[in-house]
Amino acid sequence: MGAHEDVTTGPIDTAAVDTAHLEELLLGRWAETRRTAREVLKDPVFHKVENQTKEDQRERTFKQCHALVEAKAVHRAFPEEFGGDNDNGANIAAFEELVTADPSLQIKAGVQWGLFGAAVLHLGSREHQQQWLPGIMDLSVPGAYAMTEFGHGSDVAALGTTATYDPETEEFLIHTPFTAATKRYLGNAALHATAAVVFAQLITRGVNHGVHCFYMQIRDESGSPLPGITINDDGHKGGLNGVDNGQLSFDQVRVPRTHLLNRYGDVAADGTYTSPITSPGRRFFTMLGTLVQGRVSLSGAAVAASKLALIGAVTYGNQRRQFHAASSTEEEVLLDYQLHQRRLIPRLAKTVALSFAQEKLLGKLDEVFSGADDSDENRQELETLAAAVKPVATWHGLDMLQEAREACGGAGFISANRFTSLRADLDVYVTFEGDNNVLLQLVAKRLLADYAAEFKNADVGALASYVANQAGDRIMHRFGLRRALQGVRDTGNERRSANWFKQTAVQHDLLADRVRQMVADVAAQLRPVAKLPSAQQAKVFNDHQYEIINTAKAHAELLLWEAFTEGLESVQDAGTRQVLTWLRDVYALTTIEETLDWYLVNGRISAQRARTLSPYINRLVARLRPHAQDIVDSFGYGPEHVRMEVASGAEAERQHEAIEHYRALRASSAAPVEEKTLLERQRAAAKRP
């Protein structure tokens, strides 16, 4: 412990961020790739231009995509034989950085290489790859990823488009049987795509084998839709207007049998269906498995955008002054206000937690896609992890951008400061590539399945003892005895309470215990109906859906905390570790604070301790305040990435000029006297005898 020490938080004197060290840590395993990507993106050709019509923006974004090809920035995931690097983790790491240049560019690139190209790569045969990947990679064949329909987004299995095999001609008939089956929101479709991968129900010999993917030409050389294909424009959007989203519908359009991307399911010339995966359900999820890359990318992009927002808001918060409080001549710097600290520091903590969680997620993705461990189990773990982190990251991105924009006042609303522009573009990240709430429901189902599996194998004795413990707990809770006992021991001494809250083990137990208990509570409600007809099961499940989603959120928060804590362990520099530990504590404690009622109701935290939590957090954010600039500086972005007037130092210059003006004025004889001061003097003079 240092010589100077705060009673509750630890040594203060030694706390200091080694920004180079922290930058390296946050850049993570793919640091070199990120640096290379960031270097490329310094070029203004990639930067979003504001105040364009969607027509102009689309053209510009398309040109930017070509520039990415020239800069060799988008081929990392493709096999070496086609000129790629076969490096999946690096690919996503670089892709995440695109958001700093222009989110439209990111999404248009994602459609071309991450969805359209990845479908051919992962679902096609070697012949398919040889035939189509070169044109996809060099963008001579722009393509759409035609999955979503008017009537079905998240529920891909229920798509309406059909692909019916005709053995006479050895062709599939791609068809849109009703309006709701029209493909919608397809990037590249409105203007640029000449081809598409189309998802449709594969029907052959009278059997529907479920959703499969077909490669199709959709426009001719002149850019007109091919016969039987109708293309419409989705029109102007809330953001991402550089992406030309459009609609596709098909009137019995014939495609060759060999255009079925047939890695997981094939149709022979005579119409016989075969698949290496027997279960239709497992086959479906395997085919959709590549979608996880999109989720991981969006999550990472949201973290990068959150970092930009913090750089802007923290820098401005350190320069802008408002209201006199402590001094009559000098105004307060925004970040000295407690409320401003409360608005920005916990969000800084969550951003860093997400940065570490994203790094873990990326590692897991690389493990699966590189083949280092692509077992079903690991693939499922990746899916669940992505389904947990993507919602938290993308919602946090919007919240972070909004709070940063509000924290900069009117300046935050000016497009030159980018907050509103980034927020508008990132808005759809919370509902596409898996709607956040649907993903959270997947997470919860996995948690419940794991829980059920645990009990399936448990012997009767263990189960009985578990139930007894639960019952005991419940009685304790019912009569408030456990809390009352805590109350007597726990007199709300702030120091003792803070010492408790700051323990890593305590934070872990609080966060983990909440997830466990919530899962157990939900499972207890669902168990009695497990044997009932599905309609009744569905009703009971629905009656607990809100609780179920909250359980998944609690799980995601635990994951973030674990990633942050693991990240901390690799910090060598003591000063940096101290600051990051406080920041991790802020993440843990504000997360607990948000659901403090649960901890109280469930007897995990006594009312006395709960009372000390908010004041302790207030002290922690004040302690972190002097380090906020160093932390955001460690994000490693240069002015070419940030591009915000609020982060340029212009405000500091303006404040300096104003302060100097008033200082010179006070020193001169020209300074007017305030009417208020004059009145006070007159009053004082009148009182004198």
Q: Considering the rule CB under 8 A, would residue 322 count as an interface residue with a copy of itself?
A: yes
- List the one residue from 468, 484, 530, 532 that touches a copy of itself (CB under 8 A): 484
- With 0-12 CB in 10 A as exposed, 13-18 as middle and 19+ as buried, what is 87? buried
Q: How far is CA 350 from CA 9, 93, 494, 533, in A?
A: 19, 20, 25, 43
242 touching a copy of itself, by CB under 8 A:
no
Catalytic one of 433, 547, 645, 653:
433
Q: Which amino acid is it at 642?
A: V
Taking the least distance from each CB to a copy of itself, the nearer of 409 and 649 is 409
Instruction: Report which residue type is found at 535.
Output: A
Environment class of residue 70 by beta-carbon count within 10 Å: exposed (0-12), middle (13-18) or buried (19+)? exposed
Q: Quick check: 600 binds a copy of itself (CB under 8 A)?
A: yes
The neighbour count for residue 456, using CB atoms within 10 Å, is: 7
CB distance 99 to 175 below 8 Å = no
CA distance 398 to 532: 41
Contact between residue 621 and residue 628 where contact means Cβ atoms under 8 Å apart = no
In this structure, what token pair is assigned to residue 160?
A: 């309406």
CA atoms of 331 and 651, how far apart (whole Å): 14
Nearest to a copy of itself of 90, 439 (CB atom): 439
Q: Would you count residue 339 as binding a copy of itself (CB under 8 A)?
A: yes
Give the one residue of 281, 472, 639, 649 binding a copy of itself; rule: CB under 8 A.
Answer: 281
Q: Pick between residue 24 and residue 251 the one whose CB is nearest to a copy of itself.
A: 251
- Largest Cα separation within the chain, whole Å, is 118
Integer Cα distance of 401 and 313 in angstroms: 9
Annotated catalytic residue 547:
no
Q: Which of 406, 436, 400 is nearest to 635 (CA)?
A: 400
**Distance (Å, whole) CA 142 – CA 195:** 7
Residues 514-543 that bind a copy of itself (CB under 8 A): 534-535, 538-539, 541-543
Spatial separation of the C-alpha atoms in residues 29 and 354, rounded to whole Å: 15
CB of 615 to a copy of itself, least distance (A): 9
Binding positions for a copy of itself, 607-636, rule CB under 8 A: 607-608, 610-611, 614, 618
Question: In the set 1, 323, 667, 688, which binds a copy of itself (CB under 8 A)?
Answer: 323
Does residue number 680 form part of the binding site for a copy of itself (CB under 8 A)? no
Site for a copy of itself in 160-189 (CB under 8 A): 160, 177-181, 184-185
Minimum CB distance to a copy of itself smaller for 239 or for 289: 239
Contact pattern for a copy of itself over residues 62 through 101, marking x by CB under 8 A = ----------------------------------------
- Cα 293 from Cα 110, distance rounded (Å): 10
Q: Which is nearer to a copy of itself, 34 or 514 (CB)?
A: 514
Angle, helices 574-594 vs 545-569, to 10°: value is 170
Roughly what angle, to the nearest 10 degrees, separates helices 338-369 and 574-594? 100
Position 150 contacts a copy of itself (CB under 8 A): yes
The number of beta carbons lying within 10 Å of the beta carbon of residue 45 is: 14
- For tokens 């461990």, name the residue: 373
Exactly one of 675, 684, 688, 689 binds a copy of itself (CB under 8 A); that residue is 675
Residue 66 vs 663, nearer CB to a copy of itself: 663
Residues 382-441 that bind a copy of itself (CB under 8 A): 398, 402, 405-406, 409-410, 412-416, 419-421, 423-424, 427-428, 430-432, 435-437
Residue 473 binds a copy of itself, judged by CB under 8 A: no
**Which residues inside 196-235 make contact with a copy of itself, applying CB under 8 A?**
201, 203, 206-210, 234-235
Counting contacts by CB under 8 A, is residue 13 touching a copy of itself? no
Count of residues that bind a copy of itself according to CB under 8 A: 125
Establish if 487 lies at the interface with a copy of itself (CB under 8 A): yes
285-304 binders of a copy of itself (CB under 8 A): none
Given a contact cutoff of 8 angstroms between Cβ atoms, the answer to whether 166 and 146 are in contact is no
- Residue 410 CB, nearest approach to a copy of itself (Å): 5
The set of catalytic residues is 433
